[in-house]
Each structure stands twice: as structure tokens, then as C-alpha cells.
Structure 1
């Protein structure tokens, strides 16, 4: 049974300290063996090719990370087309850290681009891959596979047999803590078509897996599936409301040049975060960042999502600041 941390339950204290996830009990021994604290900078769903100020949002993230000095950076997909026009943004990210990693999103191959181009232009080792940082194994998955038996249209959202076999092999061989990253969620709302299958593989290794991290949903949410946290990192840029709710948040000339912005509710400033694993405290801390709506909010437009949310406050221009030492105040949502 999956569960979700309710922002409503913790709102009074949420703006004072970072959100600390208790490391799953089964994985605690592996974490305690680590010799050092590890931090990674995270940014999701920049959508450089939709937003007129995507570059400025990325530079805000990179400037912050330069001061914080995390051990690595990960962008979680829907970043920037692997095109010449985006060369400046792509190189700025690559040059910002000696360990700047990519996850491929569903929109990164829009406009005729390919996964192979993303791998080459971004400088990825493969579309899915493993890296080790300070004794922690990071497994990056590609949720854009075709071939789902339950595919119902739209962008593919699936992890195929090639990848599930690789994931199983990696987890079988791992003798250290593991964090799994993907663009599409492996748990919670909008999860990949074969989420239950992938969760089953992950659940076999509870003594190793600390959490799973994704972008894609543009939500501020954390789900528990069989006691493993699935963290949805909010977009750097906006919440998508679609063509039925078109409106102008910026000057008309901006909307003429970037027409897709009209189908979004932009965030006034960029959202991103730093995730830190504290072996001594048995915690994973996610730093928060708060923005404001640029123009009307989804609620002001009368927007309601097509999927079920425990609380509408998951749709907000924020990556929550909360401080928890125990898993409490948890509400149920549907599995997967």
C-alpha cells in the first residue's frame, strides 16, 4: 500500500527546516557503514524549450550549487533539446561540476530529436547507467521505453525487460546503499505503466534501497510504497494546466515568441533542491525552496487534475521545507 506525506499535516513547521526522510529500517545498516555525508544537487523539468527564461532558471540553480558544493548534480529530465540553439545551456550545466549527470525526459526528444542525440550531445554514458559517489550507488533509469502492454496513448512511460533485467542485476550485485533516479515516477501518481513490476524488484532489496527520485509530475510530493520513499521533485519552471486554461502570465510579446507558456502556470523564480544523506543521523535531508505563482494559480483558473491527489497543496510553487525524524502523519493513496 502506498502512502503520501501530506503537506497539510506539516505546514505550520514546514518553512523552518529541511525535509528529513527517515532512512528505511532495512537499509539503516548499509547507511551506517558510510564514512561521510553525501549531497547531490537536483533540478527537474527546466523545459528550456518552453520557457523564455529557462537559461536564467538554470543559472540560478548553478549559482546556488557553486556555493553549496554538492558531491554531484543531477538534472531529472525535460531539460533542453539536444540542439545547437541550446548549446549554451547544455555546456553551462556540463561545466558547472565535474560530476554533472543527466536523466532523459519524455520531452527531451520532442521536435524530432532522439535519445541517441541526448546521449551524445549531453555526454551521457548510456540512456540508463550506474555511478558510485562516496559509497552510494546511483542507478539512473530511462522511463521512455515503448512496448508497454497497457499503453493507452501519449508519451511512452515504461521500463522494458532490458532495463528491468539490468536493474535486477545491479541490485543483486550491490553491496552498498542505492538511490534510484528516473524522469517518470516509479511510484505515486503518474507512475510508469509497469510500476508494480519495478517496485517488486526494488522491494527485494529493501536492505539497500534508500529512496527513488523522479521529476515529470511537477508536483511537490513524497510517496511511500512498501516503506520505500518515492520523491517527486517539482519542476524548476511551472505547473502544466493545458490548452483549456490558456492565459497570459507575461507580456504579450513573450507569449507570441513562446506560445506554450500560455498553457502553464509559471513559477516566479526557479525551484531546485539539495538532497543530503547523513549516515550519523540516519536521515536523508531535502532542502526546500519556495517561489510564487507568476500570474494566476491553477486554482484561480478553475483547474483540477485528472488524477487523484490526497491534497491539492501538492500543486504549489514550492519544494517543501519540512523537518521530520519519524514517518508520521501519513495519509493513504492508491498503490503504485
Structure 2
């Protein structure tokens, strides 16, 4: 997928970043019916999150992934999640798949739409990555993660392109999980469940999650390569920015790296890469009743989307706000 930025310059002014980061790290008051379930956690749960690495597009994906794994190890996280568009499930990618899987005993995979490019299948991802299934639930230190597969076919409103849909069988499974689980829940998907490029049946999924607002703490997704937080029906929906780049497409083809790199990685010319990898550590803290997102700043390699004259077609995503080379620090506070 593709994404956005924060100023009209190639890099963020440090003062602007501090101003933005400070403002967004202040508590965000939301109705939080889930606070009673969060308070049941024995201690804070820390999870490393990385999304949209796109190993098969960007040349330095192993270095980006290793930076994430090193920081997650230093933080002594309880688990790591890659949120889709990771690496094709084939033999040539065995090293980077093992790099992720061997880094932590508790590692979760999410199926992205691009993971099945070039004739690959979802079942190959499940088998080669080592997933329990296309969608599944996992308990990490009392915190439940419901991982969805938003790549189902059969949408009655599909308008072409990649499928973005959760089929009736999976919807029924989701409802049962939310009924049966006793504890706080994080919903994890590749495609968004709200806003731009959301799954076709997003409204139905939002209603289901709102009906379990006493359990659902947060929904997180990747796919759009932006930094965004939207609240719908008492549930916060957080988009985790890409580890690698914002996609700008065929109209803005340009070189950000050397000609040698672009010769071996042709799709890179349709991106605005991030100089440093983006990822975050999420902390769910029962003592403070907060969800904390660790911020990370980067800058553009070469020209920014603004400098290339990029006009955003994915309303309401905003160039310079959502499309930006950073993950903002955030604290989502559950008030009494």
C-alpha cells in the first residue's frame, strides 16, 4: 500500500516533531468500557509491532527488520507482531522469515494483500511462516490478540483490485471469540477496519467490535503506510506506519537510491522511502489504564511526496499529517 507526510520539507523540523509528539503523547480521553478487563492484567504487556516491511520491494529489508528486533529485545517485549506485507513465502526468503521467527518465542504473523503476489497463496504463508491459521487468537500474558485475515474473496461490493473483505465464516468466528474470551482484547488486521482503504464490510465489523467494547481495548492495522488514529463507536483504531516507505505509484516514478539499487529493485522508483525503519513498541499498562505507543522519527530518502507534487487520492488521508515518515508517540488513556 501507500502513505503520507508531515511538512512540505523533506525532513521534519526537530522542534515540530517534539511539538507534535508532545501534543499526541498527552492522554486522549475515550470512553473505555474495557478498563475493567485491562485492570485484570497482572502486569504491563509490551509488544513489538512492525508492518509493511515489503522485503520483496525494498533492498535493505533485513537491516530494517534487525533494527526492530534489536529494539524489541532491548525493551524485553513479551511478543512481536509483523502486520503483513512482509516477505513472499518461498525459499529465497527463508532467511528473513527465520530472522523474524527465531527472534522471539512469541511471534505473530498477519496476512497482507501483497504477501500473495506472484502466484503465492495464503496457505503457503500459513505453512512457510508457521502460522496457526489464516486467522487465530493468541493470549500473551493475559492480553488476547485476535488476528484477522482481511483478504477474503466474495465481497458483494468488491470494485476490483485486491480483495479487502472478511467473509461470513470468519465473521462468525470473530463473534464467537469475542463472546468466549474473558479478558482484554486487541484486534489485529493488515487492512484498516475504518477510514481510507478499509475492508468492504468495515461498518459491520465496527458494530461487532462496538458490541464488545467491554473487552476490545484497541484495533491495530497496517496497509496504508500512514500514521493515524481514529475513534469509532468507542473503539480506537490505530494504523501502524510502514517500516520502509510510502507508495506514490506510476505517476511519480523517480530514483531515491543509486541506479544499481533501482536496477535490482524496480518497484522502489514508485516509493518515497524512509531513511530509517519505522516500528513501535506498544505497552498496555493496567496500573495506569493506558495504551502507550512509542514514537519513532525518520526522514525521506530523496524527494518527499510533497516535493514530487503528490496529490492524495485516498481521502481523508492527509499529506503532511497522516502521510509522514514517523510513528507518533501516543498515550490512549482509559478514564473512569
Question: What TM-score comes out, normalization by structure 2 length?
Answer: 0.91
Alignment check: 8 A CA contact 2:262 2:269 kept: yes
- Cα distance in 1 for residues equivalent to 2:42 and 2:187: 21
Contact 2:50 2:278 in 1 (8 A): yes
Question: Structure 2: which 5+ runs fail to align?
Answer: 1-5, 8-15
Q: Which residue of 2 aligns with 1:318?
A: 326
1:277 to 281, 284, 295: 284
Equivalent in the alignment of 1:308? 315
Aligned to 2:153: 146
Q: Is 2:246 the partner of 1:211?
A: no
Equivalent positions of 1:155-304 (< 5 A) are 155-304=162-311
Distance 2:22 2:295 in 1: 9
CA-CA distance at 1:24 after TM superposition: 4.1
CA contact (8 A) 2:244 2:277 kept: yes
Which residue of structure 1 lines up, in the alignment, with residue 12 of structure 2? none
Cα distance, 1:15 vs. partner?
3.4
- Give secondary structure in 2 for the equivalent of 1:171: helix
Which residues of structure 1 form unaligned runs of 5+? 1-6, 328-336
Q: Distance in 2 between matches of 1:322 and 1:134?
A: 22
Aligned partner of 2:128 among 104, 117, 121: 121
Moved over 6 A (4+): none
Please say if residues 18 and 286 of structure 1, whose CA atoms lie closer than 8 Å, have aligned partners that are also in contact: no
Q: Alpha carbons of 1:23 and 1:100: their partners in 2 closer, same or farther (altered >3 Å)?
A: farther
Aligned residue runs from structure 1 range 34-183, under 5 A: 34-183=41-190
Alpha-carbon distance in 1 for matches of 2:109, 2:28:
24
Distance 1:77 1:106 in 2: 8
Q: CA deviation at 1:64?
A: 1.0
* Paired residue secondary structure (1:110): helix
Equivalent position SS for 1:244 = helix
SS at match of 2:102: helix
Match status 1:15 vs 2:21: yes
Tell me how far 1:96 sits from its aligned partner: 0.2
Q: Is the 8 A contact 2:30 2:334 kept in 1?
A: no
The C-alpha deviation readout for 1:25-81, integer Å capped at 9, x for no partner, is 211111112211001000000000000111111111111111111100000000000
Do the aligned residues in 2 keep the contact of 1:17 with 1:323 (CA within 8 Å)? Answer: no
Over 3 Å counting, the alpha-carbon distance change for 1:187 and 1:319 in structure 2 is same
In structure 2, relative to structure 1, the CA distance for the partners of 1:69 and 1:23 (3 Å cut) is: farther
3-state SS of paired residue (1:132): strand
SS in 2 for 1:45: coil
Moved more, 61-70 or 285-294: 61-70
1:238-278 per-position Cα deviation (integer Å, ceiling 9, x unaligned)? 00000110000000111111000000000001000000001
Q: Is the 8 A contact 1:44 1:233 kept in 2?
A: yes
1:326–1:166 Cα change, 3 Å? closer
Contact 1:45–1:236, Cα closer than 8 Å, also in 2 = yes
String of CA shifts for 1:272-324, please: whole Å, max 9, x gaps.
00000011111000001000000001111111111213642110100012456
Compare 74-83 and 316-325 and name the one that shifted more.
Answer: 316-325
